[in-house]
Amino acid sequence: MQTNSSLTTVLVIGGGIAGPVVSLFLKKHGYHPILFEKVQQLADVGASLNCAPNGLKAFSTLNLSDDLIKCGGLIELISWRQSDGTILAENDFLKQVSQRYGFPFVGLKRSKLLAFLHAQVEGANIEKHMGKKLINIEQTDSSVIAYFEDKTQFTGSFLIGADGLHSTVRQLLFGKDTVNYTGVTEIIGVSTRPTGLCSEKGVLLQIAGVGGHIVSYPFSETHCMYACSLEESANPESWKTVSIEEMEEFKCKSKFSQWTEPTVRHLLQNTEKLMKIGIYDRDELPIWYKERVILIGDAAHGTSPHVGQGGNLAMEDAYYLTKMLPASGESYSLSTSTLKTIFQQFTDRRRPRTTEIVKRARKEGEDRVLNDVTACKARDEARRNLFSTPASMEIADRLYNIEL
Ligand SMILES: Cc1cc2nc3c(=O)[nH]c(=O)nc-3n(C[C@H](O)[C@H](O)[C@H](O)COP(=O)(O)OP(=O)(O)OC[C@H]3O[C@@H](n4cnc5c(N)ncnc54)[C@H](O)[C@@H]3O)c2cc1C
């Protein structure tokens, strides 16, 4: 299908986070994005994501961040505990970080975030096709043709692969490669907010044990998510809900059900939905583009979720890529060599940061499932001391401080 727009048409594959956000930026920048998502309908899949000051700062340039923040729950306090309830550190570090960078931490239900982004896409009159699974790409000197499973095809000036960890676009560009199982599996639950922690300011709760870890934060007035990390042989990256029987077994018989930290019992007993997910990431990809096709988000740099940056990096990518493109009016016919120069500059700018964050998240995951008691003690002592040293703000700077 050839589009009639007189603006430069950009084919965007993937309606997760990176796809809708880059479509919004492209539209604002004078392009004609067309967004394609393989699922027919958005569903309540997954649990929640933490929008951090860096992602929100990039997103704020669309003038939509205030509305997005209203969809979730603010997180300002942090509480690090051990599995027996010993408090290692409890403070308003996240509030300090929010004030330092001008944007808050917000817990958002993933389905609500996606519904919000898709509503903005529709409100901006961006062409969107659901139920379109990309299966092939063909490139010419001046265009890209995308082929879909339903036998339709669309032509654009260039194509953005924002199709996630198991990206088809990435495979079509560089051949089949593997995602890395990190050795960590997460049992992710949605629960009611525990009363003791139901303060006005949301709490990021981290509970460290031997051979396991729980993180929890609120994503609404009434509900929170929790993720229990443990070491297991590979499990699929399935965001599907487990059966009632498996959920009951987990609540009553898992190692976490033996932990005596007082909020754990509440979280487990009030679980409304439970998922079991193998955690994967990707090795650094040296080149993110081929000719007129570029990867962004998890498709370029899939990360494990342990520093809460997957969605935030996707928002950053969308912002920086669009910023590097000429305003469409100046560039009706973008040559392949111009695009390659822009894509290389984009990769050079983004890759050091995304590589560092992927590695940091992997290390954090490993720390969460330590089995050796002495190593766990050393890890917990480091947490106890972290917030009384400048190192905590240095880490925050690395993660959350971005220049627009
Ligand atoms: C179903 C699902 C649930 C998730 N839940 C959580 C969660 O609860 N917590 C968390 O921290 N992270 C979750 N994640 C991961 C997190 O959303 C991403 O790591 C992060 O937001 C990066 O966003 P992205 O847009 O790059 O990729 P994604 O958010 O993964 O989006 C990629 C999109 O591309 C679509 N797609 C894939 N292949 C094709 C194709 N061939 N043609 C067309 N479309 C295609 C996918 O359906 C998906 O909508 C989830 C991811 C998925 C796919």
* pLDDT tens figures, 119-159: 999 999 999 999 999 999 999 999 999 999 999 999 999 99
Q: Quick one: how far is CA 240 from the chain centroid?
A: 17
Determine whether the shortest distance from the Cβ of 38 to ligand 1 is under 6 A.
yes
Q: Which of 49, 133, 317 is the best mutation target for the ligand 1 pocket, counting ligand atoms within 8 Å of the beta carbon and taking the most?
A: 49
| Predicted local distance difference test score (pLDDT) of residue 1 | 53
pLDDT in tens, 332-370: 679 999 999 999 999 999 999 999 999 999 999 999 999
Please tell me the least confidently modeled range out of 19-23, 90-94, 199-203.
Answer: 199-203
- The residues that bridge with 180 in the sheet, in sequence order, are 281
User: Which stretch of DSSP H or E encloses residue 131?
Assistant: none
Distance 192 CA to ligand 1 centre (A): 25
Q: What is the pLDDT of residue 199?
A: 66
Residue 367's pLDDT is: 96
Distance CA 64, CA 68 (A): 6
Give the SS3 label for residue 375: helix
Q: What share of the chain has pLDDT > 90, as a percent?
A: 89
In this predicted structure, what is the pLDDT of residue 330?
72
* Pocket flag, ligand 1, residue 18 (CB < 6 Å): yes
Measured CA to CA, the distance from residue 167 to residue 171 in angstroms comes to 7
Among 252-256, 313-317, 383-387, whose mean pLDDT is lowest?
A: 383-387
Mutation choice for ligand 1 from 37, 147, 168, CB with most ligand atoms inside 8 A: 37
Q: State yes or no: pLDDT of 2 exceeds 50.
A: no
Ligand 1 binding pocket includes 361 (Cβ within 6 Å): no
Kindly indicate the confidence band of residue 201, based on its pLDDT and cuts at 50, 70 and 90.
Answer: confident
Spatial contact of 314 and 298, defined as CB atoms under 8 Å apart = yes
Residue 45 CB less than 6 A away from ligand 1: yes
Closest CA to 69 of 246, 275, 219, 287: 219
Q: Among 138, 149, 171, which Cα is nearest to 292's?
A: 138
Q: Write out pLDDT tens, residues 100-115.
A: 999 999 999 999 999 9
Residue 335 Cα to chain centre, angstroms? 32
Overall average pLDDT of the 205-215 stretch: 97
What does the pLDDT look like over 235-244, one tens digit per residue?
888 888 999 9
**Residue 15 near ligand 1, beta carbon < 6 Å:** yes
CA distance 73 to 194: 14
23 Cβ inside 6 Å of ligand 1: no
Q: How far is the CA of 378 from the centre of ligand 1 (A)?
A: 35
Give 16 Cα–ligand 1 centroid separation in angstroms.
Answer: 5
For residue 336, report the distance from its CA to the centre of ligand 1, in Å. 29
Residue 44 or 339, more confident? 339
Distance CA 5, CA 125 (A): 13
Phi/psi-derived region of residue 81, left when phi > 0, alpha when psi is between -120 and 50, beta in every other case:
beta
Ligand 1: residue whose CA is nearest its atom 5: 46
Show the DSSP H helices in 240-390 as ranges.
Answer: 244-253, 262-269, 298-301, 310-324, 336-368, 373-386
- What number is the average pLDDT over the span 34-59? 96
Q: Is the beta carbon of 48 within 6 A of some atom in ligand 1?
A: yes
Residue 388: predicted pLDDT: 84
Atom 2 (ligand 1) nearest CA: 46
Q: Phi then psi for 372, rounded to 5 degrees?
A: -80, 125
User: To which residue do tokens 């009951």 refer?
Assistant: 248
Specify the CATH superfamily of domain 9-45+110-179+282-368: FAD/NAD(P)-binding domain (3.50.50.60)
How high is the pLDDT of residue 328? 81
Give the confidence band of 5 by pLDDT, cuts at 50, 70, 90: low
